[in-house]
């Protein structure tokens, strides 16, 4: 157990009650990506009252807070703040009923169905423990509350706004995510922890006509259908079975009426890859197939490709992960474990470390009732537990709140403790 988690125990139930109130409030008032003004104000005001050097509106709505406490490493702790454009269906007493305008002007429900409200609460709790127990650590704590993770905008936006010398350069970057898993447990892995994710919009151009005169058209519906089928062969026929990859067509949109052949069709797809080489190959293959199908159909102009979002691999530093593992095993014992495989979800957390050349570690905290999770394991029914991005996703507050807070403090202590060194990554 670290000196900081010892300090957490001393603060006890009053702190947990305060954090639970913050969590339910943020959950009840979710905000869409790059619109997190209310959440950012709660965060910034909380940190300023604790004595942090607080900078607001970094990368639109991001908050950076710095607490200097003598010699030692600079440790960056990150939490994301945004919610999803979806209606919550949990039925919780603190469920969201918020509606808002998305970036395209459509009215949508808004819900914290990915757990970022828990991430914000964890980091605020860590901030209080660090500020009120300075004798327990040495170094510089830099807390980053990031907007726009769900749209892959936030980390890049903050990096662009960072500025030379505006904030301390971190020696290590640490982050965590609540996921399906037994509450009270944490897991981690060195190397690739999360997939790269790329979403594309592809517009295919035909020539419209009357449905009774197809010979006068270049039918983009047929073009899009053939393209959709052929794109599925990238993973099944061009990627080795030993190399995990996913390509999903999430939307195929064309036309307005059954007897009108439209001028164009749109495909929206998402792909997940676990190596940079496979990612680059698949992106090129998508372009090759789309262009070839358009040419085969006699299209008079090539397809138009637009990147919706792009997430890099999350690839944990090996040496830093060993340091983290030692801290977690000391803190959690058997409740800390090595994740057997990378997760197919994607994150923009690694943008910070990749941009600055700084080692980083990202890990996972279980948020499922432990009894429910054990029952699902016995019945081989884990896929029935509502996962992140489900309208029914709802982490149990306790012990998820305590576990994530302990994990963040134990990880920070590995670099900020009295014996910590300023370098622990490759």
pLDDT digits (tens, 9 = 90+) for 296-351: 999 999 999 999 999 999 999 999 999 999 999 999 999 999 999 999 999 999 99
With 60 as the cut, is the pLDDT of residue 415 above it? yes
With 60 as the cut, is the pLDDT of residue 425 above it? no
Domain 196-311 indexed as CATH 3.30.70.360: yes
Q: Which tokens belong to 6?
A: 């010892």
Q: For the domain bounded by 3-193+313-416, which CATH number is listed? A: 3.40.630.10
Q: What is the full DSSP assignment across 26-78? A: HHHS---TT--HHHHHHHHHHHHHTT-EEEEEETTTEEEEEEEESSS-EEEEE
- Region 63-80 average pLDDT: 97
Asked whether the beta carbons of 197 and 313 are under 8 A apart, the reply is no
pLDDT for 1 equals 64
Judge residue 329's burial from the number of C-beta atoms within 10 Å of its C-beta, 0-12 exposed, 13-18 middle, 19 or more buried.
Answer: middle
pLDDT for 421 equals 45
Mark the binding-site residues, compressed into ranges.
114, 116, 150, 177
Asked whether the beta carbons of 204 and 299 are under 8 A apart, the reply is yes
Does 196-311 match 3-193+313-416 at the fold level?
A: no
Asked whether the beta carbons of 175 and 353 are under 8 A apart, the reply is no
Tell me what the pLDDT averaged over the chain comes to: 96
Please report, for the chain, the start and end positions of each structural domain, with discontinuous segments joined by +: 3-193+313-416, 196-311
Size of the chain, expressed as the number of residues it contains: 426
Q: Which of 365, 422, 371 is nearest to 181 (CA)?
A: 365
With 80 as the cut, is the pLDDT of residue 426 above it? no
What does the DSSP 8-state code read for residue 216? G
- pLDDT bucket at 2, cuts 50 / 70 / 90: confident
Mark the binding-site residues for Mn(2+), compressed into ranges.
114, 116, 150, 177
With 50 as the cut, is the pLDDT of residue 126 above it? yes
């Amino acid at each position: 157990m670290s000196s900081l988690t010892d300090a957490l125990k001393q603060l006890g139930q009053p702190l947990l009650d305060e954090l639970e109130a913050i969590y339910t409030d943020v959950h009840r008032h979710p905000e869409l990506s790059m619109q997190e003004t209310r959440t950012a104000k709660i965060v910034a005001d909380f940190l300023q009252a604790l004595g942090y050097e607080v900078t607001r509106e970094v990368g639109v709505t991001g908050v950076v807070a710095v607490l200097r406490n003598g010699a030692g490493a600079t440790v960056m702790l990150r939490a994301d703040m945004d919610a999803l454009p979806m209606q919550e269906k949990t039925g919780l007493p603190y469920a969201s009923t918020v509606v808002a305008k998305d970036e395209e002007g459509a009215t949508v429900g808004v819900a914290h169905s990915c757990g970022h409200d828990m991430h914000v609460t964890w980091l605020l709790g860590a901030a209080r423990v660090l500020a009120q127990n300075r004798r327990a650590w040495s170094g510089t704590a830099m807390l980053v509350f990031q907007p726009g993770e769900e749209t892959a905008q936030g980390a890049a936006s903050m990096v662009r706004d960072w500025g030379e010398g505006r904030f301390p350069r971190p020696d290590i970057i640490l982050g965590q995510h609540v996921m399906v898993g037994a509450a009270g447990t944490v897991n981690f892995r060195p190397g690739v922890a999360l997939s790269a994710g790329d979403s594309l919009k592809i517009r295919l151009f035909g020539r419209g006509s009357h449905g009774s005169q197809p010979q006068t058209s270049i039918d983009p519906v047929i073009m899009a259908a053939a393209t959709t089928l052929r794109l599925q062969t990238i993973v099944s026929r061009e990627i080795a079975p030993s190399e995990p990859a996913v390509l999903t067509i999430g939307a195929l949109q064309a036309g307005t009426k059954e007897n009108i052949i439209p001028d164009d069709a749109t495909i929206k797809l998402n792909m997940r890859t676990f190596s940079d080489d496979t990612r680059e190959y698949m992106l090129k293959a998508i372009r090759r197939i789309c262009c070839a199908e358009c040419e085969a159909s006699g299209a008079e102009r090539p397809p138009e490709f637009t990147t919706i979002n792009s997430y890099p691999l999350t690839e944990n530093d090996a040496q830093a992960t060993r340091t983290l593992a030692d801290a977690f095993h000391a803190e959690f014992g058997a409740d800390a474990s090595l994740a057997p495989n990378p997760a197919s979800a994607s994150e923009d957390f690694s943008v910070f470390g990749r941009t600055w050349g700084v080692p980083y570690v990202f890990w996972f905290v279980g948020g499922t009732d432990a009894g429910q999770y054990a029952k699902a394991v016995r019945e081989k029914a884990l896929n029935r537990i509502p996962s992140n991005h489900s309208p029914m996703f709802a982490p149990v507050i306790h012990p998820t709140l305590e576990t994530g807070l302990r994990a963040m403090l134990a990880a920070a202590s590995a670099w900020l403790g009295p014996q910590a060194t300023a370098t622990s990554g490759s």
